[in-house]
Amino acid sequence: MNLITTGDTSTQLLPRNYQFNLSDFALFLSVMKNKTAYECTLSIILDEPELKLAEVEVEQVVLNKSGKRAIRLDAWARDTLDRRINTEMQNETETDDVRRRARFYQGLLDTPVLKSGKMTKYKHLPSTIIIFITQEDIFGRDLAEYTFTEQCEEISDLPLDDGTKKIFLNMTSRNGRPELISLLQYMKNTTIDNPEIIVKDRRIVTLDEIVNEVKQSEEWEAVKMNILEIGIEKGRQEGLQEGLKQGIHAMIQDNLEEGVEEKRICEKLQKNFSLTREAAEEELRSFMEEKAKNQEEQ
C-alpha cells in the first residue's frame, strides 16, 4: 500500500487515497495563502464579519538571536487595523506544551516589528493575536473556543491592555457559536455536505469553493506528490529500522541460549551492527526488559 505523511502528523502514515482536510497541515497552508480564504476563516474565528486583511503569508520564518530557536508560522496576516494575526494548525498536542508554545510565538512576533533606536516607542507596537487550532481539548472544559488576555489578579475589571490575545480552538466540542462550530467541523471533515456543519455560513461556502479550486490545481498535485514521496521514503526507513531491530534481538536471543556472557554479546552487537558500546548495552537492556515483561504476562 502506498503511504503518505502530512505536516506535524508526520509520524502517521496515511493511505494514498486519503482525502485531505483543512486540519491537515499541507492543505491548510495551500488554502490559507489565498487572502479571501484566510479572511473568511479569521472573520468567523474572531467573530468579526467585516474583517479585512491587508497582507497574508504562509510559512513565514521569524528569526531569533544566533543559536536560539526561530519559528515558522503556519498562516500569518496583517489586517486593515494593523493587527498581526497568526494561526497554527496544531494536530500534535501530547508531545509538547501548546500553551507555552503560544507564549513563545507571541514574544517572537514582536521581534521584527520595532526598529532599534531611541525614537522607537513601544506604544507603536501593534496588537497580536495567536490562534491555535487543535483536535484535542487541551483544557478539558468542553469548549470550542478558549480566549486569553492579560488580566489583573487583584482587580477583576482591570485588563492589562497590552494588545495581546491568545485563542485556542478545540474541534471536539460542540459548545460555542454555531458558525465557529461549523467551521471547525468543516476543517475536520472538509466537505460542504458534512452533516456536522450546523450553519452553512456564506463564509464557509466561500471557503469551500476555494478549497475545491486548490484541490484541482497543478500546484496541489505537486504538493501531494511530494508528500507521497516523503511518505514512501519514511515507510522504507521504518521498515529498515524494524528489520535491524529484529536482527539485533535474534542475535541476542541466540547468544543467551548458548550461554554467552552479556559483555561478549554487546561486543558482538558492536561488531555486527556497527553500534557504539552504549547503544549495544541499551539494546541488550531493552531486550531483557521486554523478555521479562513477556514472561510475567504468561
Tens of pLDDT, residues 26-78: 899 999 999 999 999 999 999 999 999 999 999 877 767 656 667 788 899 99
CB 231 within 8 A of CB 13: yes
Amino acid at 215: K
Confidence of residue 4 (pLDDT cuts 50, 70, 90): very low
CB atoms within 10 A of CB 238: 13
Query: Residue 13 and residue 228: Cα distance in Å, rounded?
Result: 10
Q: What is the mean pLDDT of residues 283-294?
A: 83
The region, left, alpha or beta by phi > 0 then psi within -120 to 50, assigned to residue 125 is: beta
According to DSSP, the residues that pair with 132 across neighbouring strands are 88, 168
What pLDDT does residue 274 have? 76
Polymer length of the chain: 298
| Residue 118: partners with Cβ closer than 8 Å, 6 or more residues away | none
On whether the CB atoms of residues 128 and 106 are closer than 8 A, the answer is: yes
Determine the average pLDDT of the residues in 185-207. 95
**pLDDT, tens only, 229-264:** 655 555 555 555 666 677 788 778 878 887 888 888
Coil, helix or strand at residue 164: strand
Q: Higher pLDDT residue, 3 or 185?
A: 185
Has residue 3 got a pLDDT over 50? no
For residue 296, name the pLDDT band (cuts at 50, 70, 90).
confident
pLDDT greater than 80 at residue 103: yes
Mean pLDDT within 119-142:
88
pLDDT digits (tens, 9 = 90+) for 207-233: 999 999 999 998 888 887 776 665 555
Q: Looking at the predicted structure, is the pLDDT value of residue 82 above 70? A: yes
- 5 confidence band (pLDDT: 50, 70, 90): very low
* pLDDT value for 11: 41
Lowest mean pLDDT among 11-15, 105-109, 143-147, 208-212: 11-15
Q: Which band of pLDDT confidence, cut at 50, 70 and 90, is reported for residue 2?
A: very low
Q: What is the mean pLDDT of the chain?
A: 83
The sign of the dihedral angle between the CA atoms of 46, 179, 18, 138 is positive
pTM of the model: 0.71
Residue type at position 18: Y
pLDDT > 90 in the chain, percent: 45
To which H or E segment does residue 58 belong?
A: strand 53-62
- Quick check: 166 pLDDT over 50? yes
Q: Which residue has the higher pLDDT, 81 or 234?
A: 81
Residue 13 has pLDDT above 60, yes or no: no
Q: CA 276 to CA 282: how far, in whole Å?
A: 10
Q: How far apart are CA 33 and CA 51, in angstroms?
A: 17
